[in-house]
Amino acid sequence: MFANRFDRVRTAMARDGVDVLLLSVGPDLPWLTGYHAMPLERLTILVLPVDGVATMLLPAFETARVSPQPDLFRIEGWGETDDPIARAAALVGSARNLAIGDHTWSRFTVLLQQAMPAATWRNAGSVTGPLRAAKEPAEIEALQRAASGVDRVAAALRGGEIPLIGRTEADVSAELGRRVVAEGHAKVNFAIVASGPNAASPHHEPGDRVIGPNEIVLCDFGGTTEEPEGRPGYCSDITRCVFTGEVPAEIAEAYDHLLDAQQRATAAATVGTAAGAVDAVARGRLAEVELDRYFLHRLGHGIGVEAHEDPYLVDGNEVPLAAGNAFSIEPGVYVEGSWGARIEDIVVATADGPLALNTVDRELAVVDR
Ligand code: ZN
Ligand code: ZN
Ligand code: ZN
């Protein structure tokens, strides 16, 4: 698996004129090698030339953490009094066209740039992004497991198994997080609980607001799966809304339009369709009923080892969806000061059409507690 990814990365580097790829903290390194750099001040960096031997340079006392893959890279430790920036520059040598991982901290990037003043730099995401976006079958399986896990949490929410009325958003968020972990995730990435008027803020931070009767509760949660040692986890991300009482006609009607927009956009997410055109389907459907002005964000984002990655379903993205792309379809309506709703599934573009990995019911569920 990792050998295949090395090959694909090197092919893309050769095509794009990249001499050396540099990967430190962030998701590219575990995707490519299975190794997570310690997110600390000591430099870990994979120096991957387009041809020739790759080297994983890291603190000497952390080398035991790396599963050796001698066919792919050599392991080099640096001592506490060494200069790891100079060591990395030496590994790069005379190469000039460098790409560095998008998540690399500036404390490393700036010093590397100063150590190699003649080099030209670009983000590694231009090389790795499209490759990571084309999921392999095992990656789709991991995303499906992740999605099924949060589907079970969403089913409990919709079924009234998670009490809401009288609890704070923060308390419900913590319970959602515990359930996400219990359903096969190694960690929770977020658990938004936004009640009543707070649901009008798409990225609301759950707080001390006590959830009352007769209001909407928007829950958007996800985590990263536990995978066998040496393999990166994959992310889940789902949004469902419930209503703590009888749904007012105005909200019920708007919600039905939103659900129809979400379903139409899902059906439109076929291989070969431009990512931005899928956004336009949802936005156009909401525009028919003048709800588009309440749809404040893009339609969706890719998902994989990272919660948000390529491809982005946003107006202006003309890149056609490819088989194996996995992404969210998550239109919303947000009426400031009043209420909001979002419906989100993870969908995969396949040769046989769009496949929603989340299948739990999407209607606005009424809960009585
Ligand atoms: Zn979001
Ligand atoms: Zn979400
Ligand atoms: Zn999302």
Given a cut of 90, is residue 226 above it in pLDDT? no
Given a cut of 90, is residue 97 above it in pLDDT? yes
DSSP 42-107: S--EEEEESSS-EEEEEEGGGGGGSPP-TTTEEEEEE-TTS-HHHHHHHHHTT--EEEE-TT--HH
Q: Could you give the residue ranges of the DSSP H alpha helices within 104-240?
A: 106-115, 125-133, 137-158, 169-182
- The pLDDT of 265-287, averaged and rounded, is 98
246 Rama class: left (phi>0) / alpha (psi -120 to 50) / beta: beta
Percent of the chain exceeding pLDDT 90 equals: 98
Parse the chain into domains and list their residue ranges. 2-131, 134-366
Given a cut of 90, is residue 194 above it in pLDDT? yes
| Confidence (pLDDT) at 228 | 84
Give backbone dihedrals phi and psi of 227, rounded to 5 degrees, phi first: -120, 165
| Confidence (pLDDT) at 231 | 86
CA distance 340 to 283: 16
Average pLDDT in the chain: 97
Q: Output the CA 170–ligand 2 centroid distance in Å.
A: 17
Q: Output the CA 249–ligand 1 centroid distance in Å.
A: 27
**Each residue's pLDDT tens digit, 337-350:** 999 999 999 999 99
Amino acid letter at 251?
Answer: I
| Confidence (pLDDT) at 230 | 80
- The CA angle 216-159-356, to the nearest 5 degrees, is 85
Computed on alpha carbons and rounded to an integer, the radius of gyration of the chain in Å comes to 23
Q: Output the CA 220–ligand 2 centroid distance in Å.
A: 5
Q: Output the CA 304–ligand 1 centroid distance in Å.
A: 15
**Each residue's pLDDT tens digit, 312-326:** 999 999 999 999 999
Given a cut of 90, is residue 8 above it in pLDDT? yes
Residues near 100 by beta carbon (within 8 Å), at least 6 away in sequence: 21, 22, 23, 24, 109, 112, 121, 122, 123, 124
**Each residue's pLDDT tens digit, 32-45:** 999 999 999 999 99
Percent of the chain exceeding pLDDT 70 equals: 100
Query: Which bound ligand lies closest to the C-alpha atom of 240?
Result: 2
Q: Output the CA 144–ligand 3 centroid distance in Å.
A: 15
CA-wise closest residue to 343 among 363, 315, 368, 313 = 363
CATH number corresponding to 134-366: 3.90.230.10
| Confidence (pLDDT) at 248 | 98
**Each residue's pLDDT tens digit, 57-73:** 999 999 999 999 999 99
Q: Which residues fall inside 5 Å of ion ligand 2, going by CB?
A: 220, 237, 239, 344
CA distance 132 to 136: 9
Give backbone dihedrals phi and psi of 222, rounded to 5 degrees, phi first: -175, 165
Given a cut of 90, is residue 242 above it in pLDDT? yes
| Confidence (pLDDT) at 313 | 98
Which class in CATH covers the domain with range 2-131?
Answer: alpha beta
